[in-house]
Chains A and B, each alone.
Chain A
Amino acid sequence: GNSVTQMEGPVTLSEEAFLTINCTYTATGYPSLFWYVQYPGEGLQLLLKATKADDKGSNKGFEATYRKETTSFHLEKGSVQVSDSAVYFCALSWRGSQGNLIFGKGTKLSVKP
């Protein structure tokens, strides 16, 4: 079946540090891949997405590349800010679904000034 595995947190970084959150997936066919972010007290928001192999999603300085050969979609940011503190979820959907998502367990990021 389809599944998503992402690195467990929490992750604590200093401001301006480099961020990587690993995400790998298992899926039949060609899934679409997403990163969602959940700020404290808010609902999940789409951060970025990639719908086919080698696509790079990017938003707010975050990037992730859909790597079919390694079945990965790692999230990166070159210089994190305190405002990036949140929980990040990797997710996938697949062709033929109605859009329902399979999520990883989430990674809590705390950025210290």
Chain B
Amino acid sequence: GAVVSQHPSWVICKSGTSVKIECRSLDFQATTMFWYRQFPKQSLMLMATSNEGSKATYEQGVEKDKFLINHASLTLSTLTVTSAHPEDSSFYICSAVAGPYEQYFGPGTRLTVT
């Protein structure tokens, strides 16, 4: 199947700094990518929908100025956590849509804010 990568897989940053997470579709183009957040023993919660060439659509309760999403090409979307705080520590997962009912997930990025 299609492959989606995320980088980095694991990052520790200090409170107040910003962190960028990349999501790439390696062998297909994706007009739409999604960003999810997963808390321990919890489900994946959709944060935002990223569409190539347009502004991201954020879910209710997600601060768009804190979680900046850029989908600059058909194979790359980035999530930047700005002014990170310990409560932003989580597992962030992206997915890319290859077609109807075809959605491929990245392996996730674990963010720890100290």
- Residues of chain A having any CB pair with chain B under 8 Å: 4, 32, 34, 36, 41-46, 49, 51, 89, 93, 98-106
List the B side residues contacting A45 at CB < 8 Å.
1, 105
Using CB atoms, name the residue of chain B closest to A10: B41
Nearest chain A CB to B23 CB, angstrom units: 11
Contact A105 B43 (CB under 8 A): yes
User: What is the number of residues of chain B that contact chain A, defined by CB distance less than 8 Å?
Assistant: 22
B93 at the interface (CB under 8 A from A): yes
Given A98-B49, A99-B32, check contact A41 B107 (CB 8 Å).
Answer: yes
Using CB atoms, name the residue of chain B closest to A42: B107
Nearest chain A CB to B106 CB, angstrom units: 5
New A-B pairs, 20, CB < 8 Å, besides A4-B43, A44-B105: A36-B105, A43-B4, A43-B93, A43-B105, A44-B44, A45-B1, A46-B103, A89-B43, A89-B44, A93-B101, A98-B32, A98-B97, A99-B34, A99-B100, A99-B103, A100-B46, A103-B44, A105-B41, A105-B43, A106-B42
Count: A-B pairs, CB below 8 Å: 53
- Residues of chain B having any CB pair with chain A under 8 Å: 1, 4, 32, 34, 41-44, 46, 49, 51, 93, 95, 97, 100-101, 103-108
Contact B43 A49 (CB under 8 A): no
Nearest chain B CB to A42 CB, angstrom units: 6
Using CB atoms, name the residue of chain A closest to B57: A98
Using CB atoms, name the residue of chain B closest to A98: B32
B93 touches which of A44, A93, A98 (Cβ 8 Å): A44
Using CB atoms, name the residue of chain B closest to A106: B43
B43 touches which of A43, A51, A93, A104 (Cβ 8 Å): A104
